[in-house]
Amino acid sequence: MNKRIILSLSTALLSFFTYSARAEYALNLQAPVTRVAHEIYDLHTLVLLVCLAIFVVVFGFMFYSLYKHRKSVGHQAVQFHEHKVLEVVWTVIPALILIGMAYPATKTIFTMKDVSDSDMSIKVTGHQWKWEYEYMGEGVRFISNMATPQDQIDNKAEKTANYLLEVDNAMVVPTGKKVRLLMTADDVIHSWWVPQFGVKQDAIPGFIKEAWINVEKPGIYRGQCAELCGIHHGFMPIVVEAVPEDKYKQWLASKKQELAVAAAGADKEWTKEDLLANGKAVYEKNCVVCHQANGQGLPPTFPALTGGKIATGPIEGHLEIVLKGGKTVMPKWGPLLNDVEIASVITYERNALGNSVGDMLQPAQVKAAR
């Protein structure tokens, strides 16, 4: 009777997991779209089934004992306390099972580490709290910020489908090509993770760590930073758009053009209104997280800009700290923002947020100061 119960229970559990494997993935790993992710998925299924089987057998015995060997049903204790053969058997069998699992796992480890013969390379840099992608040899470099509006996070607006998993500039890769990823970070340790690719690589400041992906089918794939990196660790998602190679080439060309246009904006003269409008957008995307929407900051770690020494002091000092960073946690925005963005945000900080210094900065001045 008990054996039948155990059998039907385990069948139910098995079908439960395989069902979910085919259905919505809410219970299991996300649908794999690379060969490595497939191998990982299958490895997990193997280990899970092994654990399930052992669990059912061992606790089958235990629950049987709890039921049948109760004092209240009159069972008398049998005073044994060792059994050499059994003890050897239940040491050797688990060892063999483990070896069985270790073999396929070892193969996948070496596969995951093999970055040779890549078709292209992308340098991925983690910052507090955004990702930077540089397409090596293409001259394309851009920042990828989370695009979910603060209103949704603060429960003032309805949350949309890709809440916390959307960005302004996605990383785009061609399908069917081996893309080598060179991971690093600029400040603290971050971790780049896209579950459907089966890739998670810590981004260590000062070091380059390599990984690779070869995405089998086109689609939009989302992930998150996977190493605590400060207050906005939960708000620096990753979005990768995998497209057929020709579409990728088109995107690359248009991106180069987009960057050229933005850089050219540095050569013209901007009006104060335009600088302020642009600066507000830059501030909200980049500075709000620390200096807050009203400029009050979170002292002492994140100083207030309203009435702040630097924001109301000489404009050269303001530019210096934005470009080069501070001795503390203030990042170097020089590499992250272009001349127009820096000129705009400095103008904004000096003439809004409760400040009214009156002066402004042209992008050309930022370019000269770099």
How far apart (Å, rounded) are the C-alpha atoms in residues 280 and 284?
6
> In three state form, how does the secondary structure of 190-251 look?
EEEEEHHHCEEEEECECCCEEEEECCCCCEEEEECCCCCCCCCHHHCCEEEEEECHHHHHHH
205 belongs to the binding site for another protein (CB under 8 A): yes
> In the bound complex, what is the minimum distance in angstroms from residue 122's beta carbon to another protein?
12
**Residue among 71, 116, 117, 246 that touches another protein (CB under 8 A):** 71
**Residue among 3, 76, 261, 358 that touches another protein (CB under 8 A):** 76
Residues in Cβ contact with 49 at an 8 Å cutoff, skipping those fewer than 6 apart? 14
Task: Select the span of 3-11, 71-79, 255-263, 358-366 touching another protein (CB under 8 A).
Answer: 71-79
Site size for another protein (CB under 8 A): 102
Looking at the Cβ atoms of 85 and 261, the one nearer to another protein is 85
Q: Which of residues 244-283 bind another protein (CB under 8 A)?
A: none
> In the bound complex, what is the minimum distance in angstroms from residue 334's beta carbon to another protein?
16
Tokens of 151: 């209103």
How far apart (Å, rounded) are the C-alpha atoms in residues 333 and 237?
20
Q: Which of residues 285-304 bind another protein (CB under 8 A)?
A: 298-301
Asked if residue 238 lies in contact with residue 225, where contact means CB atoms within 8 angstroms, the answer is yes
In angstroms, how far apart are the furthest CA atoms of the chain?
A: 96
323 belongs to the binding site for another protein (CB under 8 A): no
Looking at the Cβ atoms of 44 and 217, the one nearer to another protein is 44
Q: Which of residues 42-61 bind another protein (CB under 8 A)?
A: 43-44, 47-48, 51, 54-55, 58-59, 61
Residues in Cβ contact with 340 at an 8 Å cutoff, skipping those fewer than 6 apart? 262, 265, 266, 270, 278, 363
**Residue among 149, 219, 235, 252 that touches another protein (CB under 8 A):** 235
155 belongs to the binding site for another protein (CB under 8 A): yes
227 belongs to the binding site for another protein (CB under 8 A): yes
The rounded Cα 197 to chain-centroid distance in angstroms is 12
How far apart (Å, rounded) are the C-alpha atoms in residues 176 and 34?
9
The β-bridge partners of 125 are 132, 184
21 belongs to the binding site for another protein (CB under 8 A): no
Q: Which of residues 164-203 bind another protein (CB under 8 A)?
A: 164-165, 182-184, 187-189, 191, 193, 195, 198-202
221 belongs to the binding site for another protein (CB under 8 A): no
**Residue among 95, 253, 260, 264 that touches another protein (CB under 8 A):** 95
Tokens of 275: 């600088």
